[in-house]
Amino acid sequence: MTIREIRIAVDGATGRLCRTQHLTKSLLAIRDEGGIELNDGTRIVPVPLLLGRNPEKLSALAAGMGNLDWSIDRAACFADPTIEIYFDASATAGRVERAREAIAAGKHIYLEKPIADSVGDALDLARRAAAMGLKNGTVQDKLYLPGLRKVARLKNEGFFGSICSLRLNFGWWIFDGETVAAQRPSWNYMKVKGGGLILDMFPHWRYIIEHIAGPIRSVSCQARTRVPQRWDEQGMRYDVDVEDEVLATFGIEGGALAQIDSSWATRVRRDDLFSIQIDGSNGSAVAGLHQCFTQHLSDTPKPVWSVDIFEHQDFLGQWQEVPDTEPLQNGYREGWAAFLSHVVADTDFRPTLMEGAKGVQLVEACHNSNAERRWIDLPDLSL
């Protein structure tokens, strides 16, 4: 058996998302289980180097993860020929500059979303990586969620027939931090730091909707700030200058419409923090993060709507749960396994930086639609 170690500079290592999902549940889990086995028997074993700004936090984290290497010197990491991949999960602000430096240094590149805050910068990164012949990608972890994998299986089996519409609901109440600690960091609410609900979540919505229904061709969007003042981690009050509630409609190639309701100022009265309903000519499905329920045309009830008579049908009970039929891994881990195999063995990898640029294109279109109060078309992007 051949072991192929691959060193990865992991930027933003001490952040919660990177620490828990990308390191503990992904790279270290892969390492501890002996790596990813390729068709020829080679096993890819990731060797992370933790990169960040705070030496005390980095050294403590590295020690707790098995005495990993760590550094606060990004330039030195880029100059190190033994480091093959640069991964960025640091703050959105500054990501483009960091990625450009990594590409110039000849590193394969994997980025958290959004890969940039403008479509011009996103395309520039994709073009630079292509010109250098570098493997590149962006995180699309939500496609590996159990609920959405079940939806994908239904689609591939032809369950829906012709898709008529989609409805996506996402969000929960984020406390303002004055008397109850907020569940999201303060930078999420600051434009200069890359905050905002559209920039944070709509890149996800693009690849999810397109994976299920097809290309998004147009968007109409309205955004609002419902909680205008918040308190940061040091207890200081600040003004929110980004949106925390967004209502949008996507026009899908072929005629379907997707209605998107996203909010950090709502309370949950549904099965999950995220839910998506797909209605088709032959059947419908409702999926959350883990579960998925279906109703086929042959099982669809025939209620009669009346303002005078209460409808006693148990509509929820008329749906069937899709069973778990395959082992499911952490979504971030699945993405890392695919990207590492792509780098080492040139296997197919769909979520390239061009896919990341499409997410940023949707973000820009939503902002423009909100500002101009009109539909915005999304033309095809190309290198």
* 142-325+361-372 carries CATH number 3.30.70.100: no
Q: What is the pLDDT of residue 306?
A: 84
Q: 216: burial class by Cβ within 10 Å (0-12, 13-18, 19+)?
A: buried
| pLDDT category of residue 89 using cuts at 50, 70 and 90 | very high
Q: Could you tell me the pLDDT band of residue 93, with boundaries at 50, 70 and 90?
A: confident
Helices and strands of the chain, counted as H and E runs: 10, 18
pTM, whole model, 2 decimals?
0.95
Q: Amino acid letter at 257?
A: L
At 369, the pLDDT band (50, 70, 90 cuts) reads very high
Task: Express as a percent the part of the chain with pLDDT over 90.
Answer: 93
pLDDT of residue 296: 98
Mean per-residue pLDDT of the chain:
96
For residue 111, give the 3-state DSSP assignment.
strand
Residue 114 · residue 351 · CB < 8 Å? no
Sort residue 255 into left (φ over 0), alpha (ψ -120 to 50) or beta.
Answer: left
What percentage of the chain exceeds 70 in pLDDT?
A: 100
Show me where the domains of the chain are located.
Answer: 3-141+331-352, 142-325+361-372
> Which CATH number describes the domain made up of 3-141+331-352?
3.40.50.720
Task: Summarize the confidence of residues 289-294 as an average pLDDT.
Answer: 96
Distance between CA atoms of residues 97 and 254, nearest Å: 38
- Kindly tell me if the per-residue pLDDT of 284 is higher than 90: yes
pLDDT, residue 383, reads: 87
Which distant-in-sequence residues (6+ apart) come within 8 Å of 174 by Cβ?
Answer: 182, 183, 184, 227, 244, 264, 265
Comparing 19-23, 150-154, 325-329, 336-340, the range with the smallest average pLDDT is: 325-329
Q: In the structure, what pLDDT confidence band is assigned to residue 96 with cuts at 50, 70 and 90?
A: very high
Query: Does the pLDDT value for residue 170 go beyond 90?
Result: yes
- 1 has pLDDT over 80: no
- At 64-82, the pLDDT tens digits run 999 999 999 999 999 999 9
Q: What is the pLDDT of residue 347?
A: 97
47-58 pLDDT per residue, tens: 999 999 999 999
DSSP 8-state code for residue 299: G
Res 244 pLDDT > 90: yes
